[in-house]
Structure 1
Amino acid sequence: MKKIFFLLVLSFLMVCCARVGSPVGGAKDTIAPIVVSSNIDSSRVNVPRNIKELQIDFDEYITLKDINKQLIISPPLKKMKKILPSGMANKYLLIKWDDTLQANTTYNFNFGNAIVDNNENNALKYYNFAFSTGDKIDNLFVSGELKSLIPDTKNKPEEISSVVGLYQIKDSMDYRQKPYYITKADPDGYFELNYLSPGKYRLLAFEDSNSNSVYDAGKEKVGFLKDQIVLDKSISGLKINLFPSKKALKYEEMKEVPGGILMTFEGNPDVVKVLSVSEKLKNYKVTHLPKSDSINIWFNAKEQNLGIDASDNLKFSYDDGVKKDTVSVFYRYNKKNEMSVTNNSGNLLAPNEDFVLTSNYFVDKIQPEKWTLVSDSISQEFTAKIREKNPYQIKITSNFKEGKKYSLTVPKGTISSFFESTTISKRFDFETDKSEKYGSLFLTLQNAPRENFWFQLVNENGTVIYSKYGKDPQIIFKSLRPQKYQPRILVDNNGNGIWDAADFKNAIIAEDVFMYEKKVEIRPLWEIRETWDLQATEILPTKNISEEKILSPTKTDSPKKQE
């Protein structure tokens, strides 16, 4: 009996010892997967054009991380079939396609950081696999750096993937297709286009927000060289600045809003002519602020019996300078859409600032002689004006004193739009804040632009907090809220009153931008004085780069990320 029990225990221990498990202890694996072979021979030249797959073998099990976003194939293959491994780890990577390869062409498969080992996710960084259907592998390269001067307030930097591409110069080039050569920039903005063949190209860089490797004008930031690249030797040291891109001009939609109809466009039209083609709508007013994407059509719905008992189909013709068309909208009068004014700045007024009222209607007329401004039961002198550049706002100026409380009373009917007036009297209570809570900035510009410019202070979230327009080289802000600011200048090069974005289609670069080399920290009661030499710190949109400014490739200039 003892022998039987001993045999059972021994068998159990042997089974336990035979189980396969992960090793315990030892140094952590920090080595990336190593390529051991491929289905294409080591010379990688004269590869048959009818080959339909690439298999790469590794020394350990691998998985693919974000392969659809990371993998860049140049020239692009349009008929991809399969990419393995998918889900399960494997010791090989397999890519299948249906395309017939081009003759005498070098193909480069750039995997980015997609290939990782199965245990510790060690990435085989920036791995490239190149082969040629000709008798040699092209070895030219273009490298440089991308920089975005206009921060993106919607996306985090790590969520934005920037790509750089080269299009072959042909009689007809479709920039809505993937570039002939394409690569991704790393998080620092560095990029390399490798294994390039000699020829004439146009360079394009853009933030690929939807990961389709195709530039979407008006939706993605863009940077480019205005002139073509004649690639007969490698190029390094390019500096490409990314800027918001110009939207194509087109009608978008119409909808009911307080006071009438809102018609919106893309592309900031200069002038839009709008006419009613509806029999019921005769008396109306059209407003359009220059370069705005919004056109308002104002009317008195009650007076003309529009949308009162049922929706009315209102039709309008428009001419935006590019297209003429007729559009319509079903309009229903909303009784809640009365004209009103509000104080959007809160009840604390910064020192040396004006008090501002904002209306939901275009303000056509005010009667400030009927208003009252009181402090400590004593009437105060003031002036009120409709803002010229923003007729939805009213600026109230007075000798506001620190620490004082004020009440502004605006009787009903004293603020009017074209067909409407305020129907409720309003009182606005506010207090002028103390200057000891604020700081000042005195900045002197050297080599300032000759044209008008916007001097802006941008917070750490990329939002413009303060802005001034003009050409005075002495910039003064006396009441700044304490925080860190990035000074920025946008130049109105063409004098049209707006900062014009980049237009790749017509090879028009964005207007000039300057970024101060450091952030300015404003503290309470501090007076910051700075001098900014724009000639020394100028950062311009990418213009033509002369040959002497392009570095010839040397050992130190060659790409830093090799196959």
Structure 2
Amino acid sequence: MKKVVFLFLSLLLFSCARVGSPVGGDKDTLPPQVVGSNIDTSRVNVPRDIRELRIDFDEYITLKDINRQLIISPPLRKMTKIIPSGLANKYLLIKWDDTLQANTTYNFNFGNAIQDNNEGNPLRYYNFAFSTGEKIDDLYISGELKDLMAEETSVSTEKDLVVGLYTAKDSMEYRQKPYYITKADPDGYFELNYLSPGTYRILAFEDGNSNSVYDAGKENVAFLKEPVVLDKNISGLNLTLYPSRKAVKYVEMKEAPGGILMTFEGNPQTVNVLSLNEKLQDYKVTHKPKSDSVHIWFDAQKQDVGISASENLRFSYDDGFKKDSVSLFYRYNTRNELTLSNNQGNLLAPGDGFTISSNYIIDSIQPEKWTLVSDSLSQPFTARINENNRFEVNIQSEFKEGKKYSLTVPRETLSSFYVSVPKSYRFDFEADKTENYGSLVLTLENMPENTFWLQLLTDNNKIAYSSTGKTAVFTFNALKPGSYKVRILVDNNENGIWDSADLLTDEFAEDVYILNKTIEIRPLWEIRETWDLKAAEDKPGLQSSGETSSTPVIP
């Protein structure tokens, strides 16, 4: 009997000592509540030599992603401890080594990091502010952050989208943390609270590495060209994120099919490359303006370069910003022969041509030696190297719906600079039926004066169809059924590419228009859309809606 009583008491004590969820009862849906702190309730005239903040709660808490969620404004550089770091606790403790600034309001924004231990209920967007002066600054800036070039239709919760204020100076240093900083919520809404009066530069960016510092060329950015004079609250501020421009910079060099591939950042206009090797004198260099890739083509076997062993090859380059020399240990790869492929699939959309792709740049073709056959009968066709992409050959013919075709490319009838295709290829494909596709006629009002790209995007912002020009009417006759977004990128400076944002020179990204609806394409239906592109006042980042009508196409 004594053993039974002892066992019962032991179990009772053990269950009382556990920190966890109670058994039974309604599920806890309430977040933890603050019951006190080591800073008095007025939170003013806080000593500058204070080295910690302790906040007490009414239940056990844990911290989730505290290093990503916690934002302190102005920033404290020397953080030494954050509790709880593992086991649950009834208080939160943050320690630092910095001496606080005089007459300054500090705000600890915890985001959704504070959660109760039982059910994980977050204390949403909790802020704790105090001042080393006689009052807590109470100005704020609120607004919305949009990402028109995002890969999702809305701001993703997985991204750290931050908005910061920098004290305005003649020479701005954006490689430091902002003086005030906050995060946008999943819908793009943001608030910068407890701000002191002053003149600031505002900057928003996609903090991909969670370091609270803007990394140009790697993170999307939004900014205002003019400083913000903060003497009263500001609400309804709209900011639009765009890809940021990279500085031109050499990245690497590596062996590639047909020779060597050099890569750069920043879309150099031109790159001049010279060989500094006695053995390598016969070579070709190709670089498309505003491209990050430079190819060096040569016949490694003929010049005995890297055949029996790796050789150190040196080259000089001039990218318009820097002149330098680089090298690599090159070894010829016998598997990197010239090959052809069909990357568009075996169903040819109505009105489309057939495309052959090569892993080598294409210098010449002999289409008179090729054959296109349907129902055992030869069919006339034309073949041309794609001027905009010399890795492709476009085949045009009177392809008829439902017909199957075979294109034969004999060996040595397609050549790069130093090599021809070593074997014959046969490509089988079928011309698809119109009934499997829909069409779109898009009429633009108040269209841009400059050349622009009109793009149809899939749900994840992948470009499905694209057309370039200055016309007011665009017709897409063979669209795969599905949902599409419509985007226009404007070539404001007419340099042939869409230029991203450059914070260092205060250059906005070139204009972008987003149709504020999706287009539903159905088989055998013709959609007619009128889109008014009258620019919004909050450039850059333009959105407008249109009027849609749809008509079934009677075959």
Q: Common fold, TM-score beyond 0.5? A: yes
What is the CA–CA distance in structure 2 between the aligned matches of 1:153 and 1:419, rounded to whole Å? Answer: 44
Q: Distance in 2 between matches of 1:504 and 1:12?
A: 71
Structure 2 residue 28 is the aligned partner of structure 1 residue 29: yes
Which residue does the alignment assign to 2:526?
A: 527
Q: Distance in 2 between matches of 1:457 and 1:539?
A: 24
2:220 pairs with 1:240: no
Report the counterpart of residue 89 of structure 1 in structure 2.
88
Q: Structure 1 residue 285 and structure 2 residue 284: aligned? A: yes
1:272 aligns with 2:267: no
Matches of 1:166 and 1:427, distance apart in 2: 61
Aligned to 2:120: 121
The residue that corresponds to 1:321 in the other structure is: 320
Contact 2:157 2:185 in 1 (8 A): no
Distance in 2 of aligned mates of 1:125 and 1:473: 48
Q: 1:510: which partner in 2?
A: 509
Query: Separation in 2 of the partners of 1:515 and 1:154?
Result: 11
Cα 1:57–1:416 change in 2 (3 A) is same
Q: Distance in 1 between matches of 2:4 and 2:311?
A: 90
**What is the DSSP-based 3-state SS (H/G/I as helix, E as strand, rest coil) of the residue aligned with 2:157?**
helix
Q: Residue 486 in 1 paired to residue 485 in 2?
A: yes
Q: Report the counterpart of residue 351 of structure 1 in structure 2.
A: 350
Q: Which amino acid aligns with 2:46?
A: V
User: 1:309: how far off?
Assistant: 1.5
SS at match of 2:534: helix
Partner residue, 2:300: 301
Question: Is this contact kept in 2: 1:515–1:537, CA < 8 A?
Answer: no
Structure 1 position 396 matched with structure 2 position 399: no
Residue 455 of structure 1 corresponds to 454
Shift in Å, 1:377: 2.0
CA contact (8 A) 2:153 2:459 kept: no
Q: For the Cα contact (< 8 Å) 2:32–2:122, is it kept in 1?
A: yes
Is the alpha carbon distance of 1:155 and 1:412 closer, same or farther for their aligned partners in structure 2, counting shifts above 3 Å? Answer: farther
Match of residue 407 from structure 1: 406
Deviations 1:345-368 (A, max 9, x none): 122111110100111111111111
Equivalents in 2 of 1:195, 1:9: separation in Å? 62
Matched, 1:311 2:280: no
**Corresponding position: 1:150 with 2:153:** no
> Match for residue 339 of structure 1?
338
- The 1:155/1:535 distance shift into structure 2, 3 A limit, reads closer
Q: CA deviation at 1:310?
A: 1.6
Seen in structure 2, the aligned counterparts of structure 1 residues 288 and 536 have a Cα distance that, compared at 3 Å, is: closer
Partner amino acid, structure 2, of 1:46: N
Deviation at 1:243, TM superposition (A): 0.8
**Structure 2: distance between partners of 1:160 and 1:110:** 17
Match of 1:381 in 2: 380
Q: Which AA in structure 1 matches 2:504?
A: K
Matched, 1:198 2:197: yes
- Deviation per CA, 1:197-240: give whole Å up to 9, x if none: 11111111011111111111111111111111111111111111
Whether contact under 8 Å (1:153, 1:463) holds in the other structure is no
Q: 1:521-562 deviations in whole A, cap 9, x for unaligned?
A: 11111211111111177984269xxxxxxxxxxxxxxxxxxx
Alignment correspondent of 1:70: 69
Does the Cα contact within 8 Å between 2:152 and 2:459 map onto a contact in 1?
no
SS in 2 for 1:157: coil
Distance 2:328 2:55 in 1: 59
Single out whichever of 268-277 and 21-30 deviates more from structure 2: 21-30
Structure 1 residues 41 and 304, CA gap change in structure 2 (3 angstroms): same
| Uncovered stretches (5+) of structure 2, i.e. residues with no partner | 543-555
Residue 14 of structure 1 deviates from its aligned partner by 6.5
Contact 1:514 1:538 in 2 (8 A): no
Q: What residue identity is the alignment partner of 2:260? A: I
Change (3 A) 1:376 1:53: same
What is the DSSP-based 3-state SS (H/G/I as helix, E as strand, rest coil) of the residue aligned with 1:92?
Answer: strand
1:9–1:388: structure 2 CA closer, same or farther, 3 Å change rule? closer
The AA in structure 2 aligned to 1:475 is F
Q: Which amino acid aligns with 2:420?
A: S
Matches of 2:206 and 2:9, distance apart in 1 = 60
Work out the number of aligned pairs and report it.
Answer: 538
Q: Which residue of 2 aligns with 1:38?
A: 37
Aligned equivalent of 2:432: 433
Counterpart Cα distance in 1 of 2:466 and 2:537? 19
Deviation at 1:340, TM superposition (A): 2.0
Question: How far did 1:57 drift?
Answer: 1.2
Tell me which moved more, 534-543 or 22-31: 534-543
Offset of 1:172 from its aligned partner?
3.9
**Quick one: distance in 2 between partners of 1:436 and 1:512?**
36
Deviates more, 1:47-56 or 1:306-315: 306-315
Contact 2:513 2:541 in 1 (8 A): no
TM-score, normalised by the number of residues in structure 1:
0.92
Contact residue 219 and residue 245 of structure 1 kept, 8 A: yes
Q: Deviations over 1:377-431 (max 9, x none)?
A: 2221111111111111111111110011111121222211111111212221111
Q: C-alpha distance in 1, partners of 2:24/2:241?
A: 48
Higher relative contact order (CA 8 A, sep 6+): 1
Q: 1:536 to 1:297 in 2, by over 3 A?
A: closer
Q: TM-score, normalised by structure 2?
A: 0.93
**Deviation at residue 158 of structure 1 after TM alignment:** 2.5
SS in 2 for 1:159: coil
How big is the shift at 1:10?
6.9
2:326 & 2:22 partners in 1: Cα distance?
A: 71
Q: Deviations over 1:140-182 (max 9, x none)?
A: 1111001111123799922111000011112443211111100
Greater mean deviation of Cα atoms: 19-28 or 302-311: 19-28
Secondary structure in 1 matching 2:255: strand
CA spacing shift, 1:58–1:422, aligned 2, 3 Å: same
SS at match of 2:499: coil
Is the CA contact (8 Å cut-off) linking 2:73 and 2:107 kept in structure 1?
Answer: yes
- What's 1:107 paired with? 106
In 2, the alpha carbon distance for the partners of 1:222 and 1:404 equals 50
Partner of 1:496: 495
Q: CA separation in 1, counterparts of 2:127 and 2:400?
A: 67
- d(CA) in 1 for partners of 2:336 and 2:12? 79
Distance 2:395 2:3 in 1: 96
- Using the alignment, how far apart are the partners of 2:443 and 2:364 within structure 1? 39
Cα distance between partner residues in 1 of 2:354 and 2:48: 73
User: Structure 2: how far apart are the matches of 1:243 and 1:416?
Assistant: 40
Residues 223 and 542 of structure 1 are in contact (CA less than 8 Å); yes or no, is this contact kept in structure 2? no
Greater Cα shift, 17-26 or 316-325? 17-26
Task: Indicate the percent of aligned positions where both proteins have the same amino acid.
Answer: 67
